[in-house]
Structure 1
Amino acid sequence: MDNIVIEKPPVAVWPAAKSLATCAVTTAVLLAQRRIHLPRAMAGRRIRFADGTTASVYRETVVDRGPTGDPAVLVVCFRLVVVRGRGHALFRLESILNTPLFVGFPGYVSKLWMTHDSRGTYRGIYEWDGPALAENYARTLWRVLALVCVRGSIHYRVLPGIRRDDFLRNPDAVAEAVGAAGDRAWWLPAQPVLSEAVPAVPGPTVPGPTVPRQNPPGQTAARQNPHGPAAPQQTTPGPART
């Protein structure tokens, strides 16, 4: 694994707005192509982090794409300003509406959505194709999170050269590679989360627009009876003619 990327300030407002608009358009295309999936294999897994906190995976979002050539793990954390008590459950439900804010960014592979921990901190664990692209996304997302998060609670780490499942399967190797930076780190699992590869189950597809079925040229669709197929008509023979 290459050197860890320490966080930098958020990007300027205008470039962030432009990137988010482009992301939303790309997300619409991915939805239309039915390439966004919500696998269930990781849902419910609890992860204890090196800072002593624990959180659970409540959703995974994956995009159909080609092979990942330059893998990187991105971990983001934040604390919401006004969400307390039952509000956390409501946030988890509505958070899927935030999908257009990240799925369409260049290099996006997958995201694990984590519940809040005992300190009220939410995390997202991403896999990205390209550490520079992951960092650009994190610095762009910062602009959106700053509107609803506690000041000073937004942080991110980019780990180049490692896939998400390898990061979860062998966090000790990551801790050894980063040295003191991994001590009580909020982003580093305290113990292995995966013992083997997670099966590649696509899960449900996020619905896209419905396209009406068209008949081939020159062919007319048979009109269907809403009450089912019609019964065959019976002919009663009349009197014989002489």
Structure 2
Amino acid sequence: MKKRTSILLSALAVLLILLFLFSKTFIVNVFSGRVHFPEERIGRNLAMEDGKKFVVFRRLHISGTTGKADDYTVFKVRFQFKSFGPSINKRLSMIPAPFLIGMKGFREKYWTIDETSGFFQGIYQWESKALAEKYISSFIFMLMTSRSAEGTLSYEILPGRDLSKYIEERSSTSTSAHGLMRYHATAVVCPGVGPREILDR
């Protein structure tokens, strides 16, 4: 029954995404050649702040400079799927891509997985903190929440961060200079799943 529900939700997601395919942002990004799926950094091992290790298995990048670099924000979301295995969920995780391409302020996403625990992690670049926060209320994020195992989904917002630099920092096995700096990050466990906390790192 759970698998059937998940399949129906995925099918519904595809149908809804088709409605967004003709949005202005999507059309501009696709037909101007700004949409890329770079191979660089695929297979890269990332050591996260909490000691967990993830491997990059897909990237989506929107080229072209818009917004102010100082406003760029890194957004991370992590969760376990409540149904299907990692191999199937890797393929299903492609579903949000057309939707992301049509979203204002989206610049890049890394899909990553911890093969040991089965946790998936998405790492995004948004043009601003406000746009990253807006993504949390989007249909595609709510779909992600509905497909996650109870109590496993959490996200973190890192304002003023460049994603490429962040990935390089997390790829390094040595302590980076940035690791000694203090910055503000908002870490949140989704409502109904757990407590909310503000971290000052």
Kept in 2, the 8 Å contact 1:107–1:129? The answer is yes
Residue 113 of structure 1 aligns with which residue? 111
- Name the CA shift for 1:142/1:175 in 2 (closer, same or farther; >3 Å): farther
Residue 60 of structure 1 deviates from its aligned partner by 0.7
TM-score, with length taken from structure 1: 0.57
SS at match of 2:22: helix
Any gaps of 5 or more consecutive residues in structure 1?
A: 1-18, 183-242
Counterparts of 1:35 and 1:108, CA distance in 2: 12
TM-score, with length taken from structure 2: 0.68
Residue 176 of structure 1 aligns with which residue? 181
Residue 80 of structure 1 aligns with which residue? 81
Residue 21 of structure 1 deviates from its aligned partner by 7.9
Counterparts of 1:23 and 1:67, CA distance in 2: 21
Residue 153 of structure 2 aligns with which residue? 154
SS at match of 1:97: coil
Residue 165 of structure 2 aligns with which residue? 166
Kept in 1, the 8 Å contact 2:78–2:119? The answer is yes
Residue 48 of structure 1 deviates from its aligned partner by 1.6
How many aligned positions are there? 161
Identity %: 23
Residue 46 of structure 1 aligns with which residue? 45
Residue 129 of structure 1 deviates from its aligned partner by 0.5
Letter in 2 for 1:134: A
- Name the CA shift for 1:77/1:175 in 2 (closer, same or farther; >3 Å): farther
Counterparts of 2:102 and 2:58, CA distance in 1: 18
Residue 144 of structure 1 aligns with which residue? 143
1:108-137 deviation line (CA, Å, top 9, x unaligned): 110111023422211011111011101111
Taking CA–CA contacts closer than 8 Å with sequence separation of 6 or more, which of the two structures ends up with the larger relative contact order? 1
Residue 122 of structure 1 aligns with which residue? 120
Q: Which moved more, 1:137-146 or 1:70-79?
A: 137-146
Q: Which moved more, 1:173-182 or 1:29-38?
A: 173-182
Counterparts of 1:65 and 1:22, CA distance in 2: 25
Please say which structure displays the higher CA radius of gyration. 1
Residue 25 of structure 1 aligns with which residue? 22
Say whether residues 1:101 and 2:102 are aligned partners: no
Counterparts of 2:107 and 2:81, CA distance in 1: 25
Counterparts of 1:149 and 1:100, CA distance in 2: 20
1:94-115 deviation line (CA, Å, top 9, x unaligned): 4323212322211111011102
- Name the CA shift for 1:167/1:24 in 2 (closer, same or farther; >3 Å): same
- Larger helix percent: 2
Kept in 2, the 8 Å contact 1:23–1:103? The answer is no
Kept in 2, the 8 Å contact 1:75–1:124? The answer is yes
Residue 155 of structure 1 deviates from its aligned partner by 1.5
Residue 139 of structure 1 deviates from its aligned partner by 3.3
Residue 71 of structure 1 aligns with which residue? 72
- Name the CA shift for 1:180/1:58 in 2 (closer, same or farther; >3 Å): closer
Kept in 1, the 8 Å contact 2:136–2:142? The answer is no
SS at match of 2:137: helix
Residue 60 of structure 1 aligns with which residue? 59
Kept in 1, the 8 Å contact 2:159–2:184? The answer is no
1:166-211 deviation line (CA, Å, top 9, x unaligned): 22334652563148989xxxxxxxxxxxxxxxxxxxxxxxxxxxxx
